[in-house]
Structure 1
Amino acid sequence: MRKLLFVLIAPILLFSSCKEEKEQTQMQEVMAIHDEVMPKMSKLGTLVGELNSKENDSTEIGLQYREARKDLQAAHKSMMDWMQNFGNRFDPDEILKGKELTDQKQEWLNEEEKKVKDLKEQINSSISNAQQLLGKSE
């Protein structure tokens, strides 16, 4: 009887632990992307300052400086908005401890994963563009 009970319950336990592991892994991936780009926020600020000092130039390059500054500022705002929205959707136990997500929250996590990947691209491309304009390589 015990063997039969084990044979019936084992697949259920295995499936539920796999589902939980998948959610934890996806949450960890989302947070890893955030953690990768968060330190770049100070670089955004530095580059905005450098571009501010150059954008009084009324030539074509001055316009490029202004556009690059706007892109950096938009990337900064996108990061702040993403973090606020993410924090409103998930509680600390879901983010940090792998608490199981409801179906609705799993849908949200799928959305947030796409958003944070787009955010990473926005931040990296705005930094790269500004550095190129300023003649920097990092």
Structure 2
Amino acid sequence: MNQRFLAFAGLLIASGQFYACKSAEDTVKEAENEVFAIHDQIMPKIDDIMKLRKQLNQHITSLDSLKDNGSASATLRTDEEREQAYRIRTNLTIADSLMMDWMGRYNGDTLTKLSSDDALRYLNGQKEQITDVKTKVNTSIEQARQFLGKK
């Protein structure tokens, strides 16, 4: 009976270790899925960034043509508006670049070569980075829409 108990206990311990490994793999996969869920929220917005940059470029061009026909105070307002459009366009460009840089640096292939703890640390860092990118993308898009909506 003692041997049966030990064999059963050994089986439970062994199967527990198997589930612990599987659980760690599942945890890594879940963390990676969270990172890519954020990525997948941002990717469609890259098209919005491109469209908004084009609209801002058109607006800047129209401001340039107005400048030649206005008074000094109108010229000052036009210059201020143009500067604001340039800043917003720059923010859109930065947000787009951050996304492209993140995608270029992300190295999911190494996850299988890392321990579960190291993989989770890597993915947590990636989640922080892609969340920051998401914030910058959303903020720059909102700024551009508000600016262009006033026109």
TM-score bucket of the superposed structures, by smaller chain: 0.7 to 0.9
Find the counterpart in structure 1 of residue 96 from structure 2.
76
Radius of gyration: which is bigger?
2
The answer to whether structure 1 residue 122 and structure 2 residue 142 are counterparts is no
The answer to whether structure 1 residue 65 and structure 2 residue 85 are counterparts is yes
Conserved 8 A contact 1:20-1:100? no
Instruction: Letter of the 1:8 partner, please give it.
Output: I
Long gaps (5+) in structure 1: none
Conserved 8 A contact 1:23-1:100? no
What is the aligned counterpart of 1:47 among 30, 52, 56? Answer: 52
Q: Give the TM-score taking structure 1 as reference length.
A: 0.83
Q: Percent identity of the aligned residues? A: 29
Long gaps (5+) in structure 2: 64-77
What is the aligned counterpart of 2:39 among 23, 26, 34? Answer: 34
Q: Give the TM-score taking structure 2 as reference length.
A: 0.77
What secondary structure does 1:59 align onto? helix
Alpha-carbon displacement from aligned partner over 1:30-79 (angstroms, at most 9, x marks no partner) = 01111111011111000001111222534322111110000000001111
Conserved 8 A contact 1:37-1:123? yes
Conserved 8 A contact 2:92-2:140? yes
Q: Distance in 1 between matches of 2:38 and 2:87?
A: 26
Conserved 8 A contact 1:76-1:123? yes
Instruction: Letter of the 2:123 partner, please give it.
Output: L
Q: Distance in 2 between matches of 1:55 and 1:66?
A: 8
Find the counterpart in structure 1 of residue 13 from structure 2.
8
Q: Distance in 2 between matches of 1:77 and 1:114?
A: 17
Larger relative helix fraction = 2
Conserved 8 A contact 2:95-2:137? yes
Number of matched residues? 129
